[in-house]
Structure 1
Amino acid sequence: MKTLKIFLLLVLQNNPVSGANHSWRGLYTATTGIKDFPEFVGVNFFNDEVIGYFNSETNQFKIRQDWVKTLDEKYVEKQTESFRNFTVKFNNGLKMIMTQFKQTNDQGVHTIQLMYSCKLDDETGVTEGYCQFGYDGADFIRLDLKNIDWVAAKPEAEIIKQKWNGAEYNYWKNYLEQDCVVWIKKYVMYGKIHLERKVPPQVSLLQTDPSSPVVCHATGFYPDKVKISWQKDGQDLHEDVDVGETLPNHDGTFQKRAELKVMPDVWKKNHFTCVVERNRFILSKIRTNRSFYQELLPGNNVPGIVAGLVVAALV
Structure 2
Amino acid sequence: MKILGILSIIFISINSAAAVTHSLRFLHTAAAGIPAFPEFVTVVLVDGQPFSYYDSQLRRELPRQSWTLQAEEPDFWERRTNKSIVDEQVFRSKVEMIKPSFNQTGGVHIVQLMYGCEWDDETGSIKGRWQFGYNGEDLMALDLKTSTWTAPTPVATFRKHKKDKDKGWAIRMNNYLSQGCPDKLKKYVSYGKSTLLRTESPLVSLLQKNFLSPVKCHATGFYPDRAVMFWRKDGNEIHEGVEQGQILPNNDGTFQMSIDLKLLSDSVEKKRYECVFQFSGANESIITKLEETKIQTNGVNPYEVIIAVVIAVIIFAAVIIDWFIVYKARKAADPFNVKKQMDL
Q: Normalized against structure 1, the TM-score is what?
A: 0.66
1:9-28 maps to which residues of 2 (within 5 A)?
20-28=20-28
Q: Is the 8 A contact 1:151 1:161 kept in 2?
A: no
Structure 2 counterpart of 1:133: 132
State the 1:189 CA deviation: 0.8
Q: Is the 8 A contact 1:203 1:217 kept in 2?
A: yes
RMSD: 4.3
Q: Is the 8 A contact 2:199 2:223 kept in 1?
A: yes
Separation in 2 of the partners of 1:275 and 1:102? 48
State the 1:88 CA deviation: 1.3
Separation in 1 of the partners of 2:246 and 2:75? 36
Separation in 2 of the partners of 1:41 and 1:140? 19
Structure 2 counterpart of 1:31: 31
State the 1:119 CA deviation: 3.1
State the 1:136 CA deviation: 5.0
Q: Kindly indicate whether residue 81 of structure 2 is the aligned counterpart of residue 80 of structure 1.
A: yes
Percent identity between the aligned chains? 38
Separation in 1 of the partners of 2:130 and 2:174? 9
State the 1:232 CA deviation: 5.7
Separation in 1 of the partners of 2:33 and 2:211? 51
Separation in 1 of the partners of 2:213 and 2:133? 45
State the 1:220 CA deviation: 0.8
Separation in 2 of the partners of 1:131 and 1:171? 12
More strand by share: 1
1:82-121 maps to which residues of 2 (within 5 A)?
82-97=83-98, 101=101, 106-121=105-120
Structure 2 CA distance for partners of 1:304 and 1:219, relative to 1, 3 Å: farther
State the 1:235 CA deviation: 6.5
Q: Normalized against structure 2, the TM-score is what?
A: 0.61
Q: Is the 8 A contact 2:23 2:117 kept in 1?
A: yes
Structure 1 counterpart of 2:306: none
Q: Is the 8 A contact 1:230 1:272 kept in 2?
A: no
Unaligned 5+ runs, structure 2: 1-16, 303-344
State the 1:202 CA deviation: 1.0
Structure 2 counterpart of 1:41: 41
Which structure has the greater CA radius of gyration?
A: 2
Structure 2 CA distance for partners of 1:116 and 1:16, relative to 1, 3 Å: closer
**Which structure would you say has the larger RCO, counting Cα contacts within 8 Å and 6 or more residues apart?**
1
State the 1:35 CA deviation: 3.8
Structure 2 counterpart of 1:68: 68
Unaligned 5+ runs, structure 1: 1-14, 292-300, 306-315
Separation in 2 of the partners of 1:107 and 1:60? 29
Q: Is the 8 A contact 2:149 2:160 kept in 1?
A: no
Structure 2 CA distance for partners of 1:113 and 1:209, relative to 1, 3 Å: closer
Partner SS state of residue 256, structure 1: strand
Structure 2 CA distance for partners of 1:37 and 1:282, relative to 1, 3 Å: closer
**What one-letter code is carried by the residue in structure 2 that aligns with 1:277?**
F
Separation in 2 of the partners of 1:150 and 1:237? 40
Structure 2 CA distance for partners of 1:149 and 1:215, relative to 1, 3 Å: closer
Separation in 1 of the partners of 2:234 and 2:140? 56
State the 1:65 CA deviation: 4.2
Q: Kindly indicate whether residue 157 of structure 2 is the aligned counterpart of residue 154 of structure 1.
A: yes
Structure 1 counterpart of 2:320: none
